[in-house]
Amino acid sequence: MSSTVLRKAYERWQSGVRTPGRMPDNGSIAPAEEIELGALLGIPLGAVEDYAALASRIELVMQNEVQRALVVAAAARRGGASTVAVGLASTLAATGRSPILLVDGNLRDPILHRKFQVPREPGLADLARGAVKAADIVHPTAVPNLNFVAVGSETKVPQAFYQQPPFREILDAWAREYSYVIIDSAPFTGVADPINLAQAATGVLLVVEAGRTVREVAAETTEELRRAGIRVLGAVLNRRRFYIPDWIYRRV
């Protein structure tokens, strides 16, 4: 996979060739017709290559999986899970040829519906309750091949939500329909729902914030996930202050 598509689109965007409509200067994402690919998702130009590399690695580690449902979660609050989930899902979608589904699975602090400028409900929680049909909650987005599902109405007992059979059935159906299901999650801070969500999925992409998430917390979280039978398929070091050449990275 190459990052050329994204880079070209960003260059167009930066050079001022803009389609009329709302612009994502506040980090939000406008509906499909209104913007061109270059405005996608508020990924900073400097991060395009990083997302392309991340998407390639995820494709590599997941290529032989039957179900490709990836949970993106941080080791601590505000570590950058939602940011990385959007960036990864849109990069996979914009550079691939098959449909991707991004799901807001953060029952505690959902924000993606605001980024995509769609209502919070109906969404995942309403589908699990049987109140709506799957087709009614999937939104197309500005990025070709990227579809989005909001979190839905408030869940009274979030700890139990991901253990219930309806969610697993929903996830299985989505995994058959989409080449990747990327699920934005609440952080692993000792509550049960992110763990249950990760157990129902193929694996986890752990987002670690440089400088803030101390090494011990990241190591403890990884160990806890392994004990719970969860596969950590990768880790992202978010908000790096300094550019680290790729060859050094591979040795860390």
Cα-Cα-Cα-Cα torsion 59, 63, 67, 72, nearest 10 degrees, comes to -20
Residues 21, 19: Cα–Cα separation, whole Å: 6
Pick from 24, 80, 122, 123 the residue near ligand ADP by CB under 6 A. Answer: 80
**Out of Mg ion, ligand ADP, none, which partner does residue 196 contact, by CB within 5 to 8 A per kind?**
none
Distance (Å) of CA 1 to CA 21, 36, 60, 195: 30, 21, 11, 31
Residue 83 binds Mg ion (CB under 5 A): no
Residues 150, 113: Cα–Cα separation, whole Å: 5
141: its two tokens: 């987005």
Number of residues that bind ligand ADP (CB under 6 A): 13
Distance (Å) of CA 222 to CA 23, 73, 197: 38, 11, 15
Residues 204, 230: Cα–Cα separation, whole Å: 7
Residues in contact with ligand ADP, shown as a per-residue x/- string from 27 to 66 under the rule CB under 6 A: x---------------------------------------
Pick from 79, 105, 123, 158 the residue near ligand ADP by CB under 6 A. Answer: 79
166: its two tokens: 């309806």
Cβ distance to Mg ion smaller for residue 37 or 84: 84
Kind plus residue range of the DSSP H or E element containing 220: helix 215-227
Residue 90 binds ligand ADP (CB under 6 A): no
- Write the DSSP symbol of residue 245: -
Residue whose entry in the numeric block shows the structure tokens 């999650």: 185
Q: How far is the CB of 102 from ligand ADP (least distance, A)?
A: 13
Cβ distance to Mg ion smaller for residue 9 or 206: 206
Residue 74 binds ligand ADP (CB under 6 A): yes
Residue 3 binds ligand ADP (CB under 6 A): no
Kind plus residue range of the DSSP H or E element containing 104: strand 100-104
Residue 78 binds ligand ADP (CB under 6 A): yes
Residue 112 binds ligand ADP (CB under 6 A): no
Cβ distance to ligand ADP smaller for residue 81 or 200: 81
Q: How far is the CB of 220 from ligand ADP (least distance, A)?
A: 17
Residue 239 CB-density burial (10 A; 0-12 exposed, 13-18 middle, 19+ buried) = middle
**Out of Mg ion, ligand ADP, none, which partner does residue 80 contact, by CB within 5 to 8 A per kind?**
ligand ADP
Residues in contact with Mg ion, shown as a per-residue x/- string from 43 to 82 under the rule CB under 5 A: --------------------------------------xx
Cβ distance to ligand ADP smaller for residue 45 or 173: 45
Closest to 198 in 3D by CA, of 175, 225, 165, 176: 225
Binding residues for ligand ADP, rule: CB under 6 A, are 27, 74, 77-83, 111, 187, 238-239
